[in-house]
Structure 1
Amino acid sequence: MAQRRMALSAGMAALVGAIVLATLLCAPSRALAVKRAGAFWSGLSREQKTDLILGIFDGFNLNENILGITLKNEYTICTDIMESIMRQSDAFFAGMPAGRIVTALDAFYTDRKNRNIPVSWGLWVVVRQNRKDPTVGDFLRELRALYP
């Protein structure tokens, strides 16, 4: 039993480590993210906006694939956790194709208080608003404070 708990703890530590590593490798720098905020968004054509959102989705997929391969090959105990995360991500974005996100972000950036929020965070806001997430207001206030 103690060995199983140690294996589980080691597996969870590996999972957290893999997530942090993948996030650092796949996430743009904070400076780049700030440059890709409201003014940047407003300067793009509809096609460019759609391409950007599709690129973000590709980044999500790459991140999931890297984690999935690493965990399946090295830490089989975490496979169920990774598969659950992938299912939850798919469910979270259900009903929000790229075109609908583009339209929602266009509306999001018409509010001047949102102009400095990076597109990557704006995406989370509009998807959470679509899902009627009761905590999205608090989340948006935090983002506005972080990106005044």
Structure 2
Amino acid sequence: MSDLVRFGVAMDRALLTEFDRRIAALGYENRSEAIRDLVRADLTRAAWDRGAPVVATLSVVYKPHVRAEVLRLSEPEPGSAELVVASQHVRIDRDRYLDTMVLRGHAESLSALAGKIAGTKGVLSCELHVAASVADETRPNDVQASPSRDRDREQEQG
């Protein structure tokens, strides 16, 4: 049996018409999917606001000479949890790199990391996007930094 629950929503006709146009432009097939996405997004924001653990992405565009500093800043401080679950490094062009990092942690820690990186000279943009709330539990033992991240560290040090 399905766990779906049906409920009614009263809404001003003009607001509903505008909503229908918006969700059609985004490719939604029906209002239910759009409303579910809005509820999930609101619950994720609420988790962030109360400091619950979340998963987020951090996109950083920077000049080539800044790479070692970005890697250093994303390393965990002694005694603190590792926030970076995985990362990807891409050369955009001759003068810019893009790193995307998947982060897991509490809002305060993720914001602090993004702020440290954003404030680094040579960082051109730094965007933090909260993707989902997660259960407040100890990270599983099998979650580690990606092999490419380990290889990048070794290249920077050697």
Scaled by the length of structure 1, the TM-score of the pair is 0.30
Whose Rg is larger? 2
Whichever structure has more strand as a proportion of its residues is: 2
Whichever structure has more helix as a proportion of its residues is: 1
Scaled by the length of structure 2, the TM-score of the pair is 0.29
